[in-house]
């Protein structure tokens, strides 16, 4: 497996973390009732950064959850376990694009459809695991999970569509022109290209 960890990856993780933490706070503007937001913009960052930068972008979502949630008064312990499902969310959407070498700027209907389906699955998995994480730390009981999943899933899925699609369509060519775009899940380029560089 191609693996690369250096200055670029550190910068990617740090920026993803900061972006995730900042956009985490945006969701407050879309709260319909206490605790339920219509959109969770940080989800789009987790997905898009993982699509562009593979595992390192997802790692940013992990740290972003810890830092962003902590600054909102959530216990560090809840963030440490909660970051894992936010990371998984982006990876569920991005992994098939890396495995099947699909174009990540969603140029046609088929890639767009794949993205929408994967986003639905990824955000659904995140909503389920996120609610279970809350049960683990005693925020609410197990019976409340069924009710808690839907607003969570809706907020994440709306963000993945409303922000994720335009970000991928408009900015992927721009990111590809930089030396940061990751061809592989853990590295920018293959061994041959890395050695040549």
Partner 1 sequence: MTIASFYVPRDSRYRRLSAPTKLMIPLAVMTAAFLIGQPMLNLALVGLVAVLLWLAAIPRSVVRTFASVLRTLIPVITIGWTIFFRSGEVLLSIGPVDITSGGLYRAIATDLRFTAIVLAVPLILAAMPQQDLVAALRWLHLPYVICFIIALSLRTIPTLERDVTLIRDAQRSRGVELDRGGIRVRLRGLASVVLPLMTVSIGRLEVMSRVIESRGVTARRPCRTFYRRPRPSRLDWMLMLGSIAALLGIFAFSLTAAGRQLLS
Q: By C-beta, is 74 or 111 nearer to partner 1?
A: 74
Cβ closest to partner 1, residue 66 vs residue 88: 66
Instruction: Give the binding site for partner 1 (CB under 8 A).
Output: 5-8, 10-15, 17-19, 21-23, 25-26, 29-31, 34-35, 38-39, 41, 44, 48, 63-64, 67, 70-77, 137-141, 143-144, 147-148, 158, 162-163, 166-167, 170-171, 174-175, 178-180
CB of 109 to partner 1, least distance (A): 21
Name the DSSP letter for residue 28.
G
| Contacts of 29 by beta carbon, 8 Å cutoff, 6+ apart | none
Q: Measured between alpha carbons, how far is 47 from 55 in angstroms, rounded to an integer?
A: 11
Site of tokens 């609410």? 140
In the complex, the smallest distance separating the C-beta of residue 134 from partner 1, rounded to whole angstroms, is 8
Smallest gap from residue 17 Cβ to partner 1 (A)? 4
Tokens 């009710």 -> residue: 147
Q: Count the Cβ atoms, other than its own, within 10 Å of residue 11.
A: 13
CB of residue 108 to partner 1, shortest distance in Å: 21
* Cβ nearer to partner 1, comparing 68 with 122: 68
Question: Which tokens sit at 149?
Answer: 């999943």
d(CA 189, CA 82): 31
């Amino acid at each position: 497996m191609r693996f690369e960890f250096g200055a670029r990856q550190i910068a990617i993780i740090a920026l993803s973390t900061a972006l995730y933490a900042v956009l985490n706070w945006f969701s407050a503007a879309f709260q319909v009732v206490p605790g339920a937001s219509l959109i969770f913009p940080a989800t789009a960052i987790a997905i898009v950064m993982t699509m562009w930068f593979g595992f390192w972008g997802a790692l940013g979502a992990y740290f972003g959850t810890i830092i962003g949630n902590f600054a909102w008064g959530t216990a560090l312990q809840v963030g440490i376990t909660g970051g894992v499902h936010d990371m998984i969310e982006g990876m569920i959407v991005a992994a098939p694009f890396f495995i099947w070498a699909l174009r990540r700027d969603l140029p046609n209907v088929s890639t767009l459809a794949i993205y929408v389906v994967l986003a639905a699955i990824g955000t659904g998995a995140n909503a389920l695991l996120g609610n279970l994480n809350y049960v683990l730390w005693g925020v609410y009981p197990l019976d409340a999970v069924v009710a808690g999943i839907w607003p969570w899933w809706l907020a994440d899925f709306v963000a993945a569509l409303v922000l994720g699609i335009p970000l991928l369509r408009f900015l992927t060519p721009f990111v590809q022109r930089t030396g940061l775009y990751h061809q592989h899940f853990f590295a920018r380029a293959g061994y041959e290209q890395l050695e040549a560089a």
